[in-house]
Chains A and B, each alone.
Chain A
Protein backbone atom coordinates (compact mmCIF):
# COMPACT_ATOMS: atom_id res chain seq x y z
CA UNK A 1 0.00 0.00 0.00
CA UNK A 2 1.52 3.36 -0.99
CA UNK A 3 1.43 6.54 1.03
CA UNK A 4 -1.54 7.92 -0.89
CA UNK A 5 -3.60 4.79 -0.24
CA UNK A 6 -2.58 4.75 3.40
CA UNK A 7 -3.63 8.36 3.78
CA UNK A 8 -6.97 7.66 2.12
CA UNK A 9 -7.64 4.65 4.33
CA UNK A 10 -6.73 6.68 7.40
CA UNK A 11 -9.16 9.41 6.38
CA UNK A 12 -11.91 6.89 5.75
CA UNK A 13 -11.35 5.22 9.09
CA UNK A 14 -11.52 8.57 10.84
CA UNK A 15 -14.72 9.45 9.01
CA UNK A 16 -16.34 6.12 9.93
CA UNK A 17 -15.53 5.92 13.64
CA UNK A 18 -18.48 4.22 15.34
CA UNK A 19 -18.44 6.71 18.18
CA UNK A 20 -19.45 9.52 15.83
CA UNK A 21 -22.61 7.69 14.81
CA UNK A 22 -23.48 6.37 18.25
CA UNK A 23 -23.05 9.76 19.88
CA UNK A 24 -25.20 11.43 17.24
CA UNK A 25 -28.02 8.93 17.61
CA UNK A 26 -27.99 8.84 21.40
CA UNK A 27 -28.01 12.63 21.49
CA UNK A 28 -31.21 12.61 19.45
CA UNK A 29 -32.72 10.00 21.79
CA UNK A 30 -35.16 7.13 21.45
CA UNK A 31 -38.37 8.52 22.86
CA UNK A 32 -40.95 6.51 20.92
CA UNK A 33 -40.98 2.93 22.08
CA UNK A 34 -42.86 0.35 20.03
CA UNK A 35 -46.46 -0.41 20.91
CA UNK A 36 -47.16 -3.57 22.94
CA UNK A 37 -46.97 -6.54 20.57
CA UNK A 38 -50.17 -8.26 19.48
CA UNK A 39 -49.82 -12.03 19.37
CA UNK A 40 -49.56 -13.29 15.80
CA UNK A 41 -49.61 -9.83 14.23
CA UNK A 42 -46.59 -7.82 13.09
CA UNK A 43 -46.87 -4.16 12.23
CA UNK A 44 -44.53 -3.51 9.34
CA UNK A 45 -43.34 -0.30 7.73
CA UNK A 46 -41.85 0.02 4.26
CA UNK A 47 -39.75 3.09 3.56
CA UNK A 48 -39.60 4.91 0.23
CA UNK A 49 -36.40 6.91 0.42
CA UNK A 50 -34.88 9.51 -1.84
CA UNK A 51 -31.23 8.88 -2.66
CA UNK A 52 -28.75 11.56 -1.69
CA UNK A 53 -25.03 11.68 -1.17
CA UNK A 54 -23.92 11.72 2.46
CA UNK A 55 -20.53 13.26 3.05
CA UNK A 56 -20.45 12.41 6.76
CA UNK A 57 -21.44 9.51 8.97
CA UNK A 58 -23.66 11.81 10.99
CA UNK A 59 -25.59 12.84 7.90
CA UNK A 60 -26.33 9.18 7.14
CA UNK A 61 -27.27 8.45 10.73
CA UNK A 62 -29.69 11.39 10.74
CA UNK A 63 -31.47 10.16 7.62
CA UNK A 64 -31.84 6.64 9.02
CA UNK A 65 -32.92 8.03 12.39
CA UNK A 66 -35.69 10.17 10.89
CA UNK A 67 -37.18 7.23 8.98
CA UNK A 68 -37.01 4.85 11.92
CA UNK A 69 -38.47 7.40 14.31
CA UNK A 70 -41.40 7.99 11.95
CA UNK A 71 -41.96 4.25 11.56
CA UNK A 72 -41.83 3.60 15.28
CA UNK A 73 -44.20 6.52 15.81
CA UNK A 74 -46.66 4.64 13.62
CA UNK A 75 -46.26 1.56 15.79
CA UNK A 76 -43.99 -0.42 13.49
CA UNK A 77 -42.10 -3.42 14.85
CA UNK A 78 -40.40 -4.13 11.51
CA UNK A 79 -38.96 -1.29 9.44
CA UNK A 80 -37.86 -2.08 5.87
CA UNK A 81 -35.43 0.17 4.03
CA UNK A 82 -34.62 0.09 0.29
CA UNK A 83 -31.83 -1.65 -1.57
CA UNK A 84 -28.44 0.06 -1.69
CA UNK A 85 -29.11 2.12 1.43
CA UNK A 86 -25.40 2.15 2.12
CA UNK A 87 -24.67 3.66 -1.29
CA UNK A 88 -25.52 7.05 0.20
CA UNK A 89 -22.19 6.69 1.99
CA UNK A 90 -20.20 6.81 -1.23
CA UNK A 91 -20.07 10.50 -0.39
CA UNK A 92 -17.56 9.92 2.43
CA UNK A 93 -14.93 9.29 -0.27
CA UNK A 94 -12.91 12.50 -0.40
CA UNK A 95 -13.57 14.46 -3.59
CA UNK A 96 -16.15 12.12 -5.11
CA UNK A 97 -19.14 14.43 -4.61
CA UNK A 98 -18.37 16.90 -7.41
CA UNK A 99 -17.47 14.03 -9.75
CA UNK A 100 -20.79 12.25 -9.20
CA UNK A 101 -22.77 15.43 -9.63
CA UNK A 102 -21.60 15.71 -13.22
CA UNK A 103 -21.30 12.07 -14.33
CA UNK A 104 -22.44 8.52 -13.77
CA UNK A 105 -20.40 6.45 -11.36
CA UNK A 106 -18.74 4.63 -14.28
CA UNK A 107 -17.80 7.90 -15.97
CA UNK A 108 -16.51 9.28 -12.70
CA UNK A 109 -14.32 6.23 -12.15
CA UNK A 110 -12.93 6.40 -15.69
CA UNK A 111 -11.45 9.72 -14.68
CA UNK A 112 -9.45 7.75 -12.11
CA UNK A 113 -8.35 4.98 -14.47
CA UNK A 114 -9.60 3.01 -17.50
CA UNK A 115 -9.58 -0.31 -15.70
CA UNK A 116 -11.24 0.84 -12.52
CA UNK A 117 -14.58 -0.89 -11.88
CA UNK A 118 -17.35 0.21 -9.57
CA UNK A 119 -16.57 -2.90 -7.52
CA UNK A 120 -13.12 -1.42 -6.86
CA UNK A 121 -14.73 1.66 -5.37
CA UNK A 122 -16.71 -0.54 -2.99
CA UNK A 123 -13.58 -2.53 -2.13
CA UNK A 124 -11.93 0.70 -1.16
CA UNK A 125 -14.86 2.08 0.78
CA UNK A 126 -16.23 -1.19 2.14
CA UNK A 127 -14.67 -1.23 5.57
CA UNK A 128 -15.66 2.35 6.32
CA UNK A 129 -19.21 2.16 4.96
CA UNK A 130 -19.78 -1.12 6.79
CA UNK A 131 -18.82 0.48 10.08
CA UNK A 132 -21.15 3.43 9.63
CA UNK A 133 -23.99 1.33 8.23
CA UNK A 134 -23.84 -1.33 10.92
CA UNK A 135 -23.34 1.11 13.79
CA UNK A 136 -26.25 3.24 12.61
CA UNK A 137 -28.79 0.48 12.25
CA UNK A 138 -27.73 -1.67 15.18
CA UNK A 139 -27.89 1.40 17.44
CA UNK A 140 -31.35 2.27 16.12
CA UNK A 141 -32.63 -1.32 16.42
CA UNK A 142 -31.49 -1.58 20.02
CA UNK A 143 -32.50 1.97 20.90
CA UNK A 144 -36.02 1.70 19.57
CA UNK A 145 -36.46 -2.02 20.27
CA UNK A 146 -37.44 -2.77 16.65
CA UNK A 147 -36.31 -5.04 13.87
CA UNK A 148 -34.75 -3.03 11.04
CA UNK A 149 -34.30 -4.55 7.61
CA UNK A 150 -31.75 -1.95 6.61
CA UNK A 151 -31.89 -2.50 2.87
CA UNK A 152 -28.58 -3.57 1.46
CA UNK A 153 -24.94 -2.62 1.37
CA UNK A 154 -22.44 -3.45 -1.38
CA UNK A 155 -19.51 -4.90 0.52
CA UNK A 156 -16.16 -6.55 -0.22
CA UNK A 157 -15.63 -10.07 1.11
CA UNK A 158 -12.33 -11.40 2.48
CA UNK A 159 -11.85 -13.27 -0.83
CA UNK A 160 -12.15 -9.96 -2.75
CA UNK A 161 -15.58 -10.72 -4.21
CA UNK A 162 -18.01 -7.81 -3.90
CA UNK A 163 -21.58 -8.73 -2.93
CA UNK A 164 -24.79 -6.78 -2.48
CA UNK A 165 -25.84 -7.85 1.00
CA UNK A 166 -29.25 -7.43 2.65
CA UNK A 167 -29.19 -6.86 6.42
CA UNK A 168 -31.61 -7.31 9.30
CA UNK A 169 -30.77 -5.78 12.67
CA UNK A 170 -32.69 -7.10 15.68
CA UNK A 171 -33.35 -5.38 19.02
CA UNK A 172 -31.18 -8.02 20.73
CA UNK A 173 -28.20 -6.98 18.63
CA UNK A 174 -28.16 -9.77 16.05
CA UNK A 175 -27.07 -8.82 12.54
CA UNK A 176 -28.51 -11.19 9.91
CA UNK A 177 -27.25 -11.10 6.34
CA UNK A 178 -28.29 -12.28 2.89
CA UNK A 179 -26.33 -11.75 -0.33
CA UNK A 180 -28.25 -10.93 -3.50
CA UNK A 181 -28.39 -14.06 -5.66
CA UNK A 182 -29.61 -12.65 -8.97
CA UNK A 183 -27.77 -9.59 -10.22
CA UNK A 184 -28.98 -6.95 -12.60
CA UNK A 185 -26.91 -6.64 -15.80
CA UNK A 186 -25.67 -3.30 -14.48
CA UNK A 187 -24.33 -4.90 -11.33
CA UNK A 188 -22.54 -7.54 -13.35
CA UNK A 189 -20.96 -4.76 -15.39
CA UNK A 190 -19.89 -3.14 -12.13
CA UNK A 191 -18.00 -6.31 -11.18
CA UNK A 192 -20.30 -7.59 -8.42
CA UNK A 193 -20.73 -11.31 -7.73
CA UNK A 194 -24.02 -13.14 -7.06
CA UNK A 195 -24.56 -14.95 -3.77
CA UNK A 196 -24.91 -18.72 -3.67
CA UNK A 197 -26.94 -19.19 -0.48
CA UNK A 198 -30.38 -18.39 0.86
CA UNK A 199 -31.34 -18.35 4.52
CA UNK A 200 -34.47 -17.91 6.59
CA UNK A 201 -34.04 -16.40 10.03
CA UNK A 202 -36.12 -17.24 13.06
CA UNK A 203 -36.89 -13.96 14.83
CA UNK A 204 -39.27 -12.74 17.48
CA UNK A 205 -41.53 -11.51 14.66
CA UNK A 206 -41.61 -14.75 12.71
CA UNK A 207 -39.48 -16.46 10.11
CA UNK A 208 -37.96 -13.88 7.81
CA UNK A 209 -36.20 -14.12 4.43
CA UNK A 210 -34.10 -11.24 3.08
CA UNK A 211 -33.60 -11.50 -0.68
CA UNK A 212 -32.67 -8.39 -2.61
CA UNK A 213 -34.55 -6.70 -5.49
CA UNK A 214 -33.85 -8.71 -8.67
CA UNK A 215 -34.09 -11.92 -6.64
CA UNK A 216 -37.86 -11.45 -6.84
CA UNK A 217 -37.83 -11.64 -10.64
CA UNK A 218 -37.21 -15.38 -10.32
CA UNK A 219 -39.77 -17.59 -8.60
CA UNK A 220 -37.03 -19.95 -7.41
CA UNK A 221 -35.90 -17.50 -4.73
CA UNK A 222 -39.25 -17.27 -3.02
CA UNK A 223 -39.97 -20.97 -3.45
CA UNK A 224 -36.74 -21.86 -1.68
CA UNK A 225 -37.41 -19.34 1.10
CA UNK A 226 -40.98 -20.55 1.55
CA UNK A 227 -39.87 -24.15 1.74
CA UNK A 228 -37.22 -23.14 4.27
CA UNK A 229 -40.06 -21.76 6.37
CA UNK A 230 -40.26 -18.05 5.54
CA UNK A 231 -43.44 -16.24 6.52
CA UNK A 232 -42.28 -12.68 5.91
CA UNK A 233 -40.02 -11.81 3.01
CA UNK A 234 -38.40 -8.39 3.12
CA UNK A 235 -37.33 -7.21 -0.30
CA UNK A 236 -35.31 -4.01 -0.60
CA UNK A 237 -35.54 -2.50 -4.08
CA UNK A 238 -33.74 0.10 -6.20
CA UNK A 239 -35.18 -0.04 -9.70
CA UNK A 240 -33.54 1.99 -12.49
CA UNK A 241 -36.76 1.95 -14.52
CA UNK A 242 -37.66 5.38 -15.81
CA UNK A 243 -40.29 6.33 -16.62
CA UNK A 244 -42.00 4.14 -14.05
CA UNK A 245 -44.06 1.28 -15.46
CA UNK A 246 -46.71 -0.22 -13.19
CA UNK A 247 -46.88 -3.33 -15.37
CA UNK A 248 -43.17 -3.98 -15.30
CA UNK A 249 -43.17 -3.40 -11.56
CA UNK A 250 -45.81 -6.12 -11.30
CA UNK A 251 -43.18 -8.67 -12.31
CA UNK A 252 -41.48 -8.63 -8.93
CA UNK A 253 -42.61 -9.17 -5.38
CA UNK A 254 -46.39 -9.24 -5.97
CA UNK A 255 -46.60 -12.50 -7.95
CA UNK A 256 -43.91 -14.07 -5.76
CA UNK A 257 -46.02 -13.40 -2.66
CA UNK A 258 -49.00 -15.05 -4.31
CA UNK A 259 -47.09 -18.12 -5.49
CA UNK A 260 -45.43 -18.72 -2.17
CA UNK A 261 -48.06 -17.62 0.37
CA UNK A 262 -45.83 -15.22 2.28
CA UNK A 263 -45.98 -11.56 3.26
CA UNK A 264 -43.79 -9.22 1.21
CA UNK A 265 -42.41 -5.94 2.59
CA UNK A 266 -40.66 -3.78 0.00
CA UNK A 267 -38.74 -0.60 0.63
CA UNK A 268 -37.92 1.46 -2.46
CA UNK A 269 -35.01 3.74 -3.27
CA UNK A 270 -36.04 6.61 -5.58
CA UNK A 271 -34.56 9.67 -7.20
CA UNK A 272 -31.31 10.39 -9.00
CA UNK A 273 -28.58 8.01 -7.88
CA UNK A 274 -25.14 7.41 -9.38
CA UNK A 275 -26.31 8.46 -12.83
CA UNK A 276 -29.58 6.54 -12.73
CA UNK A 277 -33.17 7.60 -12.17
CA UNK A 278 -34.80 5.24 -9.70
CA UNK A 279 -38.55 4.73 -9.34
CA UNK A 280 -40.80 2.40 -7.40
CA UNK A 281 -43.41 2.09 -4.68
CA UNK A 282 -42.80 1.15 -1.10
CA UNK A 283 -45.38 -1.55 -0.53
CA UNK A 284 -46.60 -4.30 1.74
CA UNK A 285 -48.13 -7.35 0.08
CA UNK A 286 -50.04 -10.45 1.12
CA UNK A 287 -51.80 -13.38 -0.53
CA UNK A 288 -55.03 -12.20 -2.21
CA UNK A 289 -57.22 -13.89 0.40
CA UNK A 290 -55.59 -11.90 3.21
CA UNK A 291 -56.25 -8.47 1.73
CA UNK A 292 -59.42 -6.49 2.16
CA UNK A 293 -59.89 -5.72 -1.54
CA UNK A 294 -58.59 -9.07 -2.70
CA UNK A 295 -55.81 -7.37 -4.64
CA UNK A 296 -52.82 -8.67 -2.69
CA UNK A 297 -51.90 -5.21 -1.39
CA UNK A 298 -51.99 -4.27 2.28
CA UNK A 299 -50.44 -0.86 1.72
CA UNK A 300 -48.70 0.90 -1.13
CA UNK A 301 -47.24 4.38 -1.48
CA UNK A 302 -49.20 6.90 -3.52
CA UNK A 303 -46.48 7.78 -6.01
CA UNK A 304 -43.43 5.92 -7.36
CA UNK A 305 -41.28 8.99 -6.74
CA UNK A 306 -40.51 11.12 -3.69
CA UNK A 307 -40.30 10.05 -0.07
CA UNK A 308 -43.07 8.06 1.57
CA UNK A 309 -43.75 5.48 4.23
CA UNK A 310 -46.46 2.83 4.36
CA UNK A 311 -47.57 0.78 7.35
CA UNK A 312 -49.65 -2.38 7.59
CA UNK A 313 -50.31 -5.23 10.01
CA UNK A 314 -49.10 -8.67 8.94
CA UNK A 315 -51.44 -11.25 10.42
CA UNK A 316 -49.02 -14.13 10.64
CA UNK A 317 -51.60 -16.29 12.40
CA UNK A 318 -54.01 -15.79 9.47
CA UNK A 319 -51.24 -16.67 7.05
CA UNK A 320 -50.64 -19.94 8.87
CA UNK A 321 -54.36 -20.74 8.71
CA UNK A 322 -54.43 -19.98 4.98
CA UNK A 323 -51.55 -22.34 4.40
CA UNK A 324 -53.38 -25.09 6.26
CA UNK A 325 -56.62 -24.49 4.37
CA UNK A 326 -55.03 -24.06 0.94
CA UNK A 327 -51.77 -25.99 1.01
CA UNK A 328 -49.43 -25.82 -1.95
CA UNK A 329 -49.75 -28.97 -4.03
CA UNK A 330 -46.18 -29.30 -5.18
CA UNK A 331 -45.01 -32.16 -7.38
CA UNK A 332 -41.39 -32.98 -6.39
CA UNK A 333 -41.27 -35.98 -8.73
CA UNK A 334 -41.87 -33.67 -11.68
CA UNK A 335 -39.17 -31.22 -10.58
CA UNK A 336 -36.62 -33.93 -9.86
CA UNK A 337 -37.16 -35.36 -13.29
CA UNK A 338 -36.62 -32.10 -15.19
CA UNK A 339 -34.79 -29.47 -13.16
CA UNK A 340 -31.28 -30.95 -13.22
CA UNK A 341 -31.45 -31.14 -16.99
CA UNK A 342 -33.19 -27.88 -17.86
CA UNK A 343 -31.16 -25.71 -15.50
CA UNK A 344 -27.83 -27.19 -16.51
CA UNK A 345 -28.25 -25.75 -20.00
CA UNK A 346 -28.38 -22.32 -18.42
CA UNK A 347 -25.30 -22.67 -16.29
CA UNK A 348 -23.33 -19.48 -16.78
CA UNK A 349 -24.85 -17.60 -19.60
CA UNK A 350 -27.28 -19.78 -21.50
CA UNK A 351 -30.17 -18.23 -23.39
CA UNK A 352 -33.40 -19.35 -24.99
Chain B
Protein backbone atom coordinates (compact mmCIF):
# COMPACT_ATOMS: atom_id res chain seq x y z
CA UNK B 1 0.00 0.00 0.00
CA UNK B 2 1.41 3.39 -0.95
CA UNK B 3 -0.04 6.80 -0.17
CA UNK B 4 1.24 10.21 -1.13
CA UNK B 5 1.66 13.73 0.11
CA UNK B 6 2.12 15.85 -2.99
CA UNK B 7 1.66 19.36 -4.34
CA UNK B 8 -0.81 19.84 -7.21
CA UNK B 9 0.42 18.41 -10.51
CA UNK B 10 0.89 20.98 -13.25
CA UNK B 11 -0.46 18.64 -15.90
CA UNK B 12 -2.24 20.31 -18.81
CA UNK B 13 -3.96 17.19 -20.17
CA UNK B 14 -5.01 13.65 -19.32
CA UNK B 15 -1.91 12.05 -20.80
CA UNK B 16 0.52 14.18 -18.82
CA UNK B 17 -1.57 13.74 -15.66
CA UNK B 18 -1.47 9.96 -16.14
CA UNK B 19 2.29 10.04 -16.68
CA UNK B 20 2.75 12.17 -13.57
CA UNK B 21 0.80 9.61 -11.51
CA UNK B 22 2.97 6.79 -12.86
CA UNK B 23 6.16 8.74 -12.26
CA UNK B 24 5.23 9.44 -8.64
CA UNK B 25 4.31 5.80 -8.12
CA UNK B 26 7.45 4.49 -9.77
CA UNK B 27 9.67 6.55 -7.54
CA UNK B 28 8.13 4.48 -4.75
CA UNK B 29 7.89 1.25 -6.73
CA UNK B 30 11.64 1.12 -7.27
CA UNK B 31 12.03 0.62 -3.56
CA UNK B 32 8.88 -1.21 -2.72
CA UNK B 33 6.24 -1.91 -5.38
CA UNK B 34 2.72 -1.50 -4.06
CA UNK B 35 -0.57 -3.20 -4.87
CA UNK B 36 -2.60 -0.08 -4.23
CA UNK B 37 -1.70 3.60 -4.75
CA UNK B 38 -3.74 6.36 -3.15
CA UNK B 39 -3.20 9.90 -4.43
CA UNK B 40 -4.26 13.14 -2.71
CA UNK B 41 -7.58 14.83 -3.25
CA UNK B 42 -7.87 17.46 -5.97
CA UNK B 43 -4.50 16.52 -7.46
CA UNK B 44 -6.19 16.47 -10.87
CA UNK B 45 -7.20 20.09 -10.58
CA UNK B 46 -3.79 20.82 -12.00
CA UNK B 47 -5.52 20.01 -15.27
CA UNK B 48 -7.26 23.35 -14.92
CA UNK B 49 -4.67 26.08 -14.45
CA UNK B 50 -5.79 29.47 -13.15
CA UNK B 51 -8.44 27.72 -11.14
CA UNK B 52 -11.22 29.89 -9.78
CA UNK B 53 -13.89 27.79 -8.14
CA UNK B 54 -16.22 30.74 -7.89
CA UNK B 55 -16.28 31.07 -11.66
CA UNK B 56 -19.27 29.19 -13.09
CA UNK B 57 -17.62 28.97 -16.48
CA UNK B 58 -14.73 27.05 -15.00
CA UNK B 59 -17.20 24.68 -13.39
CA UNK B 60 -18.83 24.05 -16.74
CA UNK B 61 -15.45 23.30 -18.28
CA UNK B 62 -14.67 20.91 -15.44
CA UNK B 63 -17.89 19.04 -15.81
CA UNK B 64 -17.44 18.61 -19.52
CA UNK B 65 -13.86 17.52 -19.63
CA UNK B 66 -12.31 16.99 -16.23
CA UNK B 67 -14.01 13.71 -15.41
CA UNK B 68 -13.01 12.20 -18.76
CA UNK B 69 -9.43 13.29 -18.26
CA UNK B 70 -9.38 11.98 -14.68
CA UNK B 71 -10.69 8.57 -15.75
CA UNK B 72 -8.33 8.31 -18.67
CA UNK B 73 -5.36 9.19 -16.48
CA UNK B 74 -6.38 6.88 -13.66
CA UNK B 75 -6.94 3.97 -16.01
CA UNK B 76 -3.61 4.55 -17.69
CA UNK B 77 -1.76 4.71 -14.37
CA UNK B 78 -3.38 1.53 -13.02
CA UNK B 79 -2.70 -0.38 -16.25
CA UNK B 80 0.87 0.81 -16.46
CA UNK B 81 1.64 0.10 -12.81
CA UNK B 82 -0.31 -3.17 -12.70
CA UNK B 83 -1.82 -1.96 -9.43
CA UNK B 84 -5.05 -0.63 -7.99
CA UNK B 85 -5.07 3.17 -8.23
CA UNK B 86 -7.18 5.94 -6.72
CA UNK B 87 -6.01 9.08 -8.54
CA UNK B 88 -7.27 11.53 -5.93
CA UNK B 89 -10.53 13.43 -6.37
CA UNK B 90 -12.05 15.98 -8.71
CA UNK B 91 -14.96 18.39 -8.59
CA UNK B 92 -17.98 17.76 -10.76
CA UNK B 93 -20.95 19.95 -11.45
CA UNK B 94 -24.60 18.98 -11.18
CA UNK B 95 -27.17 20.21 -13.72
CA UNK B 96 -28.16 22.73 -11.03
CA UNK B 97 -24.58 24.08 -11.10
CA UNK B 98 -23.69 22.78 -7.63
CA UNK B 99 -20.30 21.27 -6.92
CA UNK B 100 -19.78 17.60 -6.07
CA UNK B 101 -16.51 15.88 -5.17
CA UNK B 102 -15.80 12.56 -6.85
CA UNK B 103 -13.23 9.76 -6.75
CA UNK B 104 -12.83 6.49 -8.60
CA UNK B 105 -10.97 3.21 -8.15
CA UNK B 106 -9.19 1.44 -11.01
CA UNK B 107 -8.11 -2.20 -10.97
CA UNK B 108 -4.79 -3.60 -12.20
CA UNK B 109 -6.10 -3.80 -15.75
CA UNK B 110 -7.17 -0.18 -15.69
CA UNK B 111 -10.89 -0.92 -15.39
CA UNK B 112 -13.00 1.51 -13.41
CA UNK B 113 -14.29 -0.72 -10.60
CA UNK B 114 -15.87 1.79 -8.24
CA UNK B 115 -16.92 5.41 -7.90
CA UNK B 116 -17.90 7.53 -4.95
CA UNK B 117 -19.29 11.01 -4.40
CA UNK B 118 -18.86 12.99 -1.20
CA UNK B 119 -21.79 12.38 1.15
CA UNK B 120 -21.56 15.36 3.54
CA UNK B 121 -21.64 18.98 2.51
CA UNK B 122 -18.84 21.45 3.16
CA UNK B 123 -18.19 25.08 2.25
CA UNK B 124 -17.71 24.27 -1.44
CA UNK B 125 -19.40 20.94 -2.00
CA UNK B 126 -23.15 21.47 -1.74
CA UNK B 127 -24.42 18.51 -3.76
CA UNK B 128 -23.91 15.22 -1.94
CA UNK B 129 -24.77 11.60 -2.46
CA UNK B 130 -26.85 9.38 -0.19
CA UNK B 131 -25.25 6.21 -1.48
CA UNK B 132 -22.04 4.62 -0.29
CA UNK B 133 -20.67 1.10 -0.52
CA UNK B 134 -17.33 -0.65 -0.23
CA UNK B 135 -15.53 -1.51 -3.44
CA UNK B 136 -14.01 -4.96 -3.91
CA UNK B 137 -10.41 -4.87 -5.10
CA UNK B 138 -7.70 -7.53 -5.06
CA UNK B 139 -8.21 -10.88 -3.34
CA UNK B 140 -11.62 -10.03 -1.99
CA UNK B 141 -10.34 -7.05 -0.02
CA UNK B 142 -12.93 -4.28 0.17
CA UNK B 143 -12.02 -0.62 0.32
CA UNK B 144 -14.24 2.32 1.26
CA UNK B 145 -13.72 5.85 -0.01
CA UNK B 146 -14.03 8.84 2.33
CA UNK B 147 -14.24 11.97 0.22
CA UNK B 148 -13.57 15.43 1.67
CA UNK B 149 -15.30 16.01 5.03
CA UNK B 150 -16.77 12.50 5.03
CA UNK B 151 -13.76 11.42 7.09
CA UNK B 152 -15.09 13.60 9.92
CA UNK B 153 -18.60 12.17 9.96
CA UNK B 154 -18.34 8.81 11.75
CA UNK B 155 -21.57 7.62 10.20
CA UNK B 156 -19.77 7.11 6.88
CA UNK B 157 -17.01 4.93 8.24
CA UNK B 158 -19.49 2.93 10.30
CA UNK B 159 -21.66 2.21 7.26
CA UNK B 160 -18.61 1.17 5.25
CA UNK B 161 -17.15 -0.99 8.02
CA UNK B 162 -20.43 -2.74 8.74
CA UNK B 163 -20.72 -3.46 5.03
CA UNK B 164 -17.37 -5.21 5.15
CA UNK B 165 -14.76 -2.59 4.24
CA UNK B 166 -11.29 -3.57 5.46
CA UNK B 167 -9.49 -0.42 4.33
CA UNK B 168 -10.78 3.15 4.40
CA UNK B 169 -9.14 5.37 1.79
CA UNK B 170 -9.21 9.13 2.30
CA UNK B 171 -7.77 11.14 -0.63
CA UNK B 172 -7.80 14.55 1.05
CA UNK B 173 -7.01 18.15 0.24
CA UNK B 174 -7.58 19.93 3.54
CA UNK B 175 -7.10 23.69 3.66
CA UNK B 176 -4.01 24.83 5.59
CA UNK B 177 -3.50 24.94 8.48
CA UNK B 178 -4.33 21.28 9.05
CA UNK B 179 -2.96 20.42 12.50
CA UNK B 180 -2.47 16.86 13.66
CA UNK B 181 -5.38 17.17 16.12
CA UNK B 182 -7.72 17.83 13.21
CA UNK B 183 -6.36 14.77 11.43
CA UNK B 184 -6.63 12.59 14.54
CA UNK B 185 -10.35 13.12 14.98
CA UNK B 186 -10.80 12.34 11.31
CA UNK B 187 -9.54 9.10 9.84
CA UNK B 188 -7.37 8.02 12.80
CA UNK B 189 -10.27 7.61 15.17
CA UNK B 190 -12.48 6.08 12.47
CA UNK B 191 -9.85 3.37 12.15
CA UNK B 192 -9.94 2.83 15.89
CA UNK B 193 -13.68 2.70 16.39
CA UNK B 194 -14.23 0.38 13.42
CA UNK B 195 -11.12 -1.86 13.60
CA UNK B 196 -10.14 -1.30 9.97
CA UNK B 197 -7.06 0.01 8.18
CA UNK B 198 -7.05 3.64 7.10
CA UNK B 199 -4.98 5.36 4.45
CA UNK B 200 -4.82 9.13 4.15
CA UNK B 201 -3.27 10.98 1.21
CA UNK B 202 -2.80 14.73 1.36
CA UNK B 203 -2.52 17.59 -1.08
CA UNK B 204 -0.27 20.41 0.06
CA UNK B 205 0.89 23.70 -1.35
CA UNK B 206 -0.89 26.48 -3.19
CA UNK B 207 -3.31 26.29 -6.06
CA UNK B 208 -4.55 29.67 -7.11
CA UNK B 209 -5.49 31.47 -3.93
CA UNK B 210 -6.04 28.29 -2.01
CA UNK B 211 -3.39 26.77 0.25
CA UNK B 212 -3.60 23.12 1.25
CA UNK B 213 -1.97 21.44 4.23
CA UNK B 214 -2.56 17.72 3.72
CA UNK B 215 -0.75 14.94 5.53
CA UNK B 216 -0.16 11.31 4.65
CA UNK B 217 -0.52 8.29 6.89
CA UNK B 218 -1.23 4.59 6.90
CA UNK B 219 -3.22 3.73 9.99
CA UNK B 220 -4.18 0.59 11.88
CA UNK B 221 -5.88 -0.23 15.18
CA UNK B 222 -3.59 0.65 18.10
CA UNK B 223 -3.26 -3.05 18.93
CA UNK B 224 -1.39 -3.61 15.65
CA UNK B 225 1.46 -1.23 16.39
CA UNK B 226 4.09 -1.77 19.09
CA UNK B 227 3.81 1.77 20.44
CA UNK B 228 -0.03 1.74 20.39
CA UNK B 229 0.00 4.84 18.18
CA UNK B 230 -1.76 3.25 15.24
CA UNK B 231 0.66 4.57 12.59
CA UNK B 232 2.21 1.81 10.47
CA UNK B 233 5.04 3.86 8.96
CA UNK B 234 6.28 5.67 12.06
CA UNK B 235 6.50 8.01 13.83
CA UNK B 236 3.23 9.63 12.77
CA UNK B 237 1.78 11.90 10.12
CA UNK B 238 4.07 12.34 7.12
CA UNK B 239 4.54 16.00 6.21
CA UNK B 240 7.35 15.72 3.68
CA UNK B 241 6.94 15.29 -0.06
CA UNK B 242 6.46 11.85 -1.55
CA UNK B 243 5.16 8.49 -0.45
CA UNK B 244 4.49 6.41 2.63
CA UNK B 245 4.51 2.65 2.15
CA UNK B 246 3.34 -0.18 4.38
CA UNK B 247 2.11 -3.75 4.12
CA UNK B 248 -1.43 -4.29 5.35
CA UNK B 249 -2.18 -7.78 6.61
CA UNK B 250 -5.88 -8.52 6.62
CA UNK B 251 -5.14 -11.71 8.57
CA UNK B 252 -3.50 -9.66 11.32
CA UNK B 253 -6.48 -7.31 11.31
CA UNK B 254 -8.85 -10.26 11.67
CA UNK B 255 -6.86 -11.42 14.70
CA UNK B 256 -7.32 -8.03 16.37
CA UNK B 257 -11.06 -8.27 15.72
CA UNK B 258 -11.19 -11.81 17.10
CA UNK B 259 -9.20 -10.91 20.21
CA UNK B 260 -11.40 -7.91 20.96
CA UNK B 261 -14.65 -7.98 18.98
CA UNK B 262 -15.43 -4.34 19.54
CA UNK B 263 -18.42 -4.13 17.22
CA UNK B 264 -20.11 -6.93 19.15
CA UNK B 265 -20.72 -4.29 21.81
CA UNK B 266 -22.75 -2.04 19.55
CA UNK B 267 -26.26 -1.50 20.86
CA UNK B 268 -28.55 -1.67 17.79
CA UNK B 269 -31.69 -1.62 19.94
CA UNK B 270 -30.67 1.77 21.29
CA UNK B 271 -29.81 3.10 17.84
CA UNK B 272 -33.04 1.81 16.36
CA UNK B 273 -34.99 3.64 19.05
CA UNK B 274 -33.23 6.99 18.76
CA UNK B 275 -31.34 7.52 15.52
CA UNK B 276 -34.31 7.75 13.13
CA UNK B 277 -35.78 10.46 15.33
CA UNK B 278 -32.75 12.47 16.26
CA UNK B 279 -31.24 12.74 12.79
CA UNK B 280 -34.32 14.64 11.67
CA UNK B 281 -33.70 17.25 14.36
CA UNK B 282 -31.62 20.26 13.50
CA UNK B 283 -28.31 20.05 15.33
Give the B-binding residues of A (Cβ under 8 A): 181-185, 194-198, 214, 217-220, 223-224, 226-228, 245-248, 250-251, 254-255, 258-259, 261, 288, 294-296, 323, 327-340, 342-347, 349-352
Contacts and interface: CB of A to CB of B under 8 A. Distances in A.
B283 A183 contact: no
B121 A339 contact: no
A343 B268 contact: yes
Contacts of B271: 220, 224, 339, 343
A346 to B, nearest CB: 5
B270 A294 contact: no
A337 to B, nearest CB: 6
B185 A197 contact: no
Interface stretch (B56-64, B69-77, B101-109, B158-166): B158-166
Contacts of B158: 219-220, 342
Residue among A196, A261, A334 with the highest chain B CB neighbour number at 10 A: A334
A183 B265 CA distance: 7
Contacts of B163: 338, 342
Contacts of A345: 162
B235 to A, nearest CB: 12
Interface extent on B, as a size class?
35 or more
B267 A194 contact: yes
Given A217-B193, A330-B283, A343-B271, A350 B264 contact: yes
B155 A334 contact: yes
A250 B275 contact: no
Interface of B: 119-122, 128-132, 149, 152-156, 158-159, 161-164, 179, 181-182, 184-185, 189, 192-193, 195, 222, 227-230, 254, 257-258, 260-276, 278-281, 283
Contacts of B179: 288, 294
A148 B283 CA distance: 27
Contacts of B129: 334
5 interchain residue pairs of minimum CB distance: A227-B278, A342-B162, A219-B154, A258-B185, A255-B189
Nearest to B121: A329
A349 B265 CA distance: 7
Nearest to A182: B265
A258 B185 CA distance: 7
